Amino acid sequence: EPTNAEAKKDRSALQMSVNRLAQARAAVAASRWTAAMQYTSSLVEDYPLARPIKLLRLDALIGAGNFDDALQLTGSLMRPGERDLS
C-alpha cells in the first residue's frame, strides 16, 4: 500500500506532466518550435506509447523543419500492429 508521501510524489509527477503537455500545446499553437521540440521530446520519452503526444511531436518536428525525423515518426505511427495508447 502506498504511503501518503508516495502518493504526493506520484501526484506531483503527474501534475508536472500535465503542465508540460499544456506548455507543449501552447508552444505548437504559437509556432515556438524550439520550445515545442523540448517539451515534446521529454513527453515522448516519458510516455512512448501515447499516440496524442507523438502527434504533437510530429507537429513540432514539421514546424521546426525536421522533415526526416517527422517522416520517421510518421512511419512508426502508421505501422500495423503498433500498440499505442490513444
Q: What is the pLDDT of residues 4-44, one digit of tens each?
A: 888 888 899 899 999 999 999 999 999 999 999 999 999 99
Residue 30's Cβ-count burial label (10 Å; 0-12, 13-18, 19+) is: exposed
Residue 62's Cβ-count burial label (10 Å; 0-12, 13-18, 19+) is: middle
Q: What is the pTM of this model?
A: 0.81
Task: Give the span between the Cα atoms of 9 and 25, in whole angstroms.
Answer: 25
Mean pLDDT of 42-47: 93
pLDDT for 85? 56
- Supply the mean pLDDT for the chain: 89
Q: Quick check: 42 and 13 in contact, CB under 8 A? A: no
Q: What percent of the chain has pLDDT over 90?
A: 69
